[in-house]
């Protein structure tokens, strides 16, 4: 094989494999023809060595020899995304715990990341369960939003009623000064709610 002639000296095979971002054993199997590399791997190797597949096949190995001699690749190997084999039992146990309410609601992407997998791993391996997780988290967020809205209204109402009882007009500024969370008044719905309360109390 022409490629094997590019690293005949002692240690050059391992050095070229390392520079190309390949496991030494994998590269050795290429050279002794016990494993045929896929096209993607060949192109990645050529990318690092600044050479096209044809010169290697024809025995023009000067670019690869230069890479070995300089001790650095012409281009750094592109980062490879590592995928873990999915532990189905562990994943199903966590999914069920979330769906049963034993754990806080999570979307399938967030749960996959917690488990150390790619964000779409659960959707790929457990499509039905992932759909249930998505529906559950949407409903949870809807309920949370309703609770926050109710809490905002309650706090504004208490403040407006307290000012009204003192004979003070519950203006935006006055309410803002007294509520525990002033940022709540940035919400247009909160402002509209205060105005509605004022009208109901006879403040024009």
Return the domain boundaries, the chain: 2-70, 88-200
The closest alpha carbon to 38, from 48, 50, 26, belongs to 26
Global pTM reads 0.52
> Burial level of 164, CB count in 10 A (0-12/13-18/19+)?
middle
What is the per-residue pLDDT for 100? 94
DSSP state of 3: G
* 119 touches 109 (CB < 8 A): yes
Neighbouring CB atoms inside 10 A of 96's CB total 12
204 residues of the chain, pLDDT tens digit each? 545 555 555 566 676 677 667 677 777 777 777 777 777 677 777 777 677 777 766 666 677 777 767 766 656 655 554 456 788 899 999 999 999 999 999 999 999 988 888 878 888 889 999 999 999 999 999 999 999 888 889 999 999 999 999 999 999 899 988 888 788 788 888 889 999 999 998 887
Neighbouring CB atoms inside 10 A of 49's CB total 24
> What CATH architecture applies to the domain 2-70?
Orthogonal Bundle (1.10)
What is the per-residue pLDDT for 2? 47
Structure tokens at 54: 């044809």
């Amino acid at each position: 094989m022409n490629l094997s002639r590019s690293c005949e000296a002692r240690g050059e095979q391992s050095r070229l494999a390392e520079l190309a971002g390949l496991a030494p054993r994998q590269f050795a199997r290429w050279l002794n023809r016990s494993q045929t590399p896929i096209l993607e791997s060949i192109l990645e190797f050529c990318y690092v060595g600044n050479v096209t597949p044809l010169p290697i096949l024809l025995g023009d190995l000067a670019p690869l020899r230069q890479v070995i001699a300089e001790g650095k690749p012409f281009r750094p190997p592109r980062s490879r995304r590592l995928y873990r084999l999915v532990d189905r039992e562990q994943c199903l146990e966590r999914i069920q715990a979330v769906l049963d309410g034993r754990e806080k609601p999570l979307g399938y992407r967030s749960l996959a990341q917690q488990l150390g997998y790619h964000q779409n791993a659960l959707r790929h391996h457990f499509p039905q369960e992932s759909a249930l997780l998505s529906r559950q988290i949407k409903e949870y967020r809807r309920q949370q939003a309703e609770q926050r809205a109710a809490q905002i209204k309650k706090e504004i109402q208490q403040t407006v009623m307290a000012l009204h009882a003192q004979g003070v007009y519950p203006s935006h500024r006055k309410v803002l000064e007294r509520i525990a969370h002033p940022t709540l008044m940035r919400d247009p719905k909160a402002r509209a709610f205060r105005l509605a309360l004022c009208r109901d109390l006879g403040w024009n």
